[in-house]
Amino acid sequence: MIRQHHLVTRFTHRQIRTFNSSSINQSNLPVVPLWINGQAVTSSSSESVIHKHSKTGEESCKVVVAGEEETKQAIEGSRKAFEQWRDVNGWERKGILQNVVKLLKERSNTFTEALRADASFADIVISGDQMSAIHLTEGAAETAISVEGTIPQTKDGNFSMILRQPYGPVLSIPAFNYPLTLAMRSIANPLACGNTILLRSSPLLPQFFGLLGPLFQDSGLPKGALQTLNFSDKDVPERVDQMISHKDVRMINFTGSVRLGKILAAKCGEHLKPSLLELGGKSVAIVLPSADLKLAANNILFGAFFNSGQVCMATEQVLVHSDVAAEFEKVLKETAEEANWSEGMEMVRPGSGNGAKALYDDAVKEGAKTLYSSSSMSASSSSPTSFPPTIITSLSSRSKLFREESFAPLLSIHTFKSNKEILDYSNSHLTGLTSSIFTTDFNEAFKLSEKLEIGAIHINGMTIHDQHNLPHGGWKESGWGRFNGKGAIESFTQTKNIRFVNNPINFPLDAIYKGL
């Protein structure tokens, strides 16, 4: 039986007062509860786990994790809430999501403190994340009143209407790297379309995710329409399998790596559950001969090293035409040096620095050259959670970095003699999420864009971009389905055909067996 502590509805405000304590024993650590059926659940059938700050290694909070029983109750509660939420009209849903936007603004400092209590994020990342989250939630509010059906023509004169209706409880698994934006996108889009949400929180940011349940309930969302579940690392496969296989969980959306996306897609296929997968890739920036090289250098560096490269849309590779390759490398290096970056850029996942170092070392072993590093020696200046922003050339196809998304501040440059070579190389990748083309010849850019096997192409803009009315998602192994606007409506609703027969007829039953 779940024990519920009704006095911890605002638990997050008390826990923030303890965030900066330098020496806290476990009994004094703030507790991050589950959020089930509108209540903060402070104990469960499973154990609690201690979260440690990714950079300092200090214990920051105690996390209540869901066992089989709590997960079952959350699913059942989500289904019950769906029976109410699906009948709430779009204008009321819009109003609730607008309330969410208002509270997001009022509680921005609270979200900032919670993030910093769990991990290291730069000021520009936090402020950009909050602005983006507000923008996308405002867009989801508009989506709520944009869900529309159609009345198609029929050949027999009968009347048909095509409705778009929600699936039901949706399992949402957002990524950690742009936390507020990705969390809000995975919650607000399906809610706007009439679904309810089972949110799997990130184990890297438990205190941040603990704020979301109270936020939506305070905005007027019915109890149970958003459930937030924490899982221990060892139980994640079992609990996620429990949810996907449950008859009442009707859809899954996931933002994360290709590797995990494939595992979830296979599990969804096993149970014939629809899914929306926004996965990563090795996003390319193409620099053509007519490009403004300084603009290209600025946008490419920002797109590569923003949030320490921890962005699914981050620029991983520059594909530059040989006519301007030497000059562009010079401009790119000068622009990077002018930025005056420090030795290393902090990352969130434990071991990320070591992973980036391994990719770099392997690339150098296979013949890569360092064009720029904020440290004189990239490999020696890394730490378990950081790595210096680094640009390399002569990357061999034998190296791991050639094939794998780094999710770190690593950028490689590749030179080609023609646009066709650039196109062939780009399309040879198994992924295709986003890209950039830098040129002043828009006809050339458009022709190239038409043939790129990529979900988004930004001409004279960086690879990182998201807007509430523009469909967001990838091609090939970068996933399927779309967030935002009409894309969200198509992803988070299903069609239903209702046909009215104007002139009913009786069919000749005796003719069924004739001629057999």
Q: Write the CB contacts of 300 (distance below 8 Å, at least 6 apart in sequence).
A: 285, 287, 315, 318, 332, 411, 436, 438, 462
Which string of b and e fits 329-340 if b means at least 16 CB within 10 Å?
A: bebbeebbeeee
Say what the pLDDT of residue 54 is: 86
CB 373 within 8 A of CB 390: yes
411 token code pair: 């950028």
Instruction: Please list the active-site residues.
Output: 278
Distance CA 176, CA 361 (A): 26
Ranges of H-type helices in 198-292 = 206-209, 212-218, 236-245, 258-270
Q: In the chain, what's the furthest Cα-to-Cα distance?
A: 89
354 sits in the region (left: phi over 0; alpha: psi -120 to 50; else beta) called alpha
Give ∠ CA 277-114-462 in degrees, rounded to 5: 45
Q: Which residues pair with 283 in a beta bridge?
A: 315
DSSP string of 403-445, one letter each residue? HS---SSEEEEEEESSHHHHHHHHHHSSEESEEEEE-S-HHHH
Alpha carbon distance 236, 202 (integer Å): 11
CB of 411 closer than 8 Å to CB of 362: no
Name the token pair of 442. 């828009």
For 403, the enclosing helix (H) or strand (E) is: helix 400-403
Residue written as tokens 């490269």?
309
How many beta carbons lie within 10 A of that of residue 315, not counting itself? 27
Amino acid 3: pLDDT:
34
- Helix, strand and coil percent figures for the chain, each rounded to 5: 40, 20, 35
Nearest to 344 by CA among 302, 307, 308, 392: 308
Model pLDDT for residues 51-66, shown as the tens digit of each residue: 999 889 999 999 999 9
Question: Rounded distance, CA 134 to CA 181, Å?
Answer: 8
What is the pLDDT, as a whole number, of residue 2?
A: 34
pTM metric for this prediction:
0.91
What pLDDT shows up at residue 25? 59
Per-residue model confidence as pLDDT tens for the chain (516 residues): 333 333 333 344 334 333 333 334 566 899 999 999 999 999 889 889 999 998 899 999 999 999 999 999 999 999 999 999 999 999 999 999 999 999 999 999 999 999 999 999 999 999 999 999 999 999 999 999 999 999 999 998 899 999 999 999 999 999 999 999 999 999 999 999 999 999 999 999 999 999 999 999 999 999 999 999 999 999 999 999 999 999 999 999 999 999 999 999 999 999 999 999 999 889 999 999 999 999 999 999 999 999 999 999 999 999 999 999 999 999 999 999 999 987 789 999 989 999 999 999 999 999 999 999 997 654 455 688 899 999 999 999 999 999 999 999 999 999 999 999 999 999 999 999 999 999 999 999 999 999 999 999 999 999 999 999 999 999 999 999 999 999 999 999 999 999 999 989 999 998 888 877
Q: Tell the residue number behind the tokens 């807007």, with chain if given.
A: 467
Structure tokens at 182: 């990705």
Q: CB–CB of 59/50 below 8 Å?
A: yes
Strands (E), 53-158: 59-64
CB atoms within 10 A of CB 260: 17
Tokens of 440: 């002043």
Q: Tell me if 412 sits within 8 A of 404, measured CB to CB.
A: no
